[in-house]
Chain A
Amino acid sequence: MTPVQNNLEIVEGIRRNDGAVLQELYRLYKNRMIGHLRSWENALDTAEDIFQEAMVSIFLKTQNPDFVIHTQFFTYLYSVCWRIWLNKKRSDRQLDRVRSAQIPVLTLDPQAEKDVDDVELIKLVLEKMRDIPADCQSILSQFYLEGKSTQDIMTELNHGSRSYFYKRNSHCKDKLRDLVMDDPRFLNL
């Protein structure tokens, strides 16, 4: 018996980061989707990247407990990949080069396209988080993720001065915001 029988199980498996479900999804859909992707984007590496980004987008959407998929999973995945590819073309200013041969052959799921756009900003922030200093990553992570008090974080990070910590925290957030807002993709999000 496969670990994925329907969309609910797929969504739940992705939400839980269930390795068996992901392996089954890869087995069922990856090569098929890469085949479609390569009809739009010949480079295998790009096709692989888009497929992985599509899976991450779906993962981010599944973090909303109300998230459901109303079409066949492959149709949803196909639509997500299409939207990501199209957004990439737009950001690369190559939208006018999209050929008729690259028109999607499956009926797109409009929800999937909206879902991609919904999480694009979060993904951009995630990408930019890698570019901020390690102590900034730690401060932001503890502040938002672990809900620790300012005093706890100050103690843990050995910040003696409360005012310095506030400044540093503010600086980290500002730095991250600036990195996101300076990215040309931000204007389209």
Chain B
Amino acid sequence: MNTPEMDDIQDQIEQYVAGKLEGQALVDFEQRLSADPQLAQRVRLENALQQAVRLAPQVTQFREQLKAADAQLIGTQRSKTFRISRLSAIAATALLLLAAWWFFNRPEPVSRADLFAAHFHPHEAFSKVNRGGDNKIDTSAFKQRWDAAVADLNAGQYEAAIQKFDQLQTMPEARAYSDDLFYAKGLACLQAGKPQEAINSFEAIQTSFPSEKPWYLALSYYLAGNDAAARTAFEQIAQSASPYKKEAQEMLESL
């Protein structure tokens, strides 16, 4: 409970803060104020109280505006996050579609057999088996067996052809035609899927087939899975004036 004196001081404080204290009363109050820290504190509090009461509605509105600004910022950030998420989803979908497209349209892996087939031309190879049309063997038994072996080769009877070429090797005439026999048997072995036997046959060629021997030997190495030997053989061909130079370069790119 305030005493009358306290009420009187409080009235003076309120009037002073409100700027309503005048004349001698103002002079007296300011003198007392400078000497009384407690009074100074009460004046300060009254000043704050009056300002607070005056500003309270505006501060309430200001806080509401701050909330709105915050909500706007959060909304923008969420929208940005949503846009990023949406873009991510679109990008992910596009990637998925791209991956699916690639999966269904991807180039088939080139198998060793396919690559070999692309560079092995049987007709061209076989045509050289019949080279010479050598009259010396036209009427002999050797010639007959030779023709039969080549007929098997051209007919795709590779195992039969290999047997016949092996039998021909045992005949006395074979010495004169050994390179032709090894070449033909090598081709038959390649076609029969016997690359190692093909290598043996091609390596046995002495002097004939100077372009064909290295080429088909290289293909045989490749088909046998001996990539190191195949690469070396293809490189030698690619660096030479061989008619298989271009194909050798292509093979090197594929290896």
Contacts and interface: CB of A to CB of B under 8 A. Distances in A.
B125 to A, nearest CB: 75
A126 B57 CA distance: 10
Interface stretch (A22-30, A65-73, A99-107): A22-30
A181 B48 CA distance: 12
A56 B62 contact: yes
Contacts of A30: 70, 73
Interface in A108-135: 121-126, 129
Interface string B35-54: 00000000011001111111
Contact of A181 (B45, B54, B70, B76): B45
Contacts of A27: 73, 76
A86 interface: no
Contact of A23 (B2, B44, B63, B72): B72
Interface of A, secondary structure class, is helix
Contacts of B73: 23, 26-27, 30-31
Contact of B45 (A17, A52, A141, A180): A180
Interface in A12-65: 17, 19, 22-23, 25-27, 30-31, 52, 55-56, 59-60, 63
B68 A19 contact: yes
Interface in B55-71: 55-59, 61-63, 65-66, 68-70
Residue from A22, A27, A140, A176 with most neighbouring chain B CB atoms (10 Å): A22
A141 B53 contact: yes
Interface residues on A, range: 20 to 34
B7 interface: yes
Contacts of B54: 144-145
B52 A122 contact: yes
Given A19-B68, A122-B48, A56 B63 contact: yes
Given A26-B72, A27-B73, A27-B76, A122 B63 contact: no
A63 B63 CA distance: 15
A181 B50 CA distance: 15
Nearest to B42: A177
B59 A126 contact: yes
A42 B28 CA distance: 52
Interface string A136-168: 000011011100000000000000000000000
A173 interface: yes
Interface of B: 2, 7, 10, 44-45, 48-59, 61-63, 65-66, 68-70, 72-73, 76
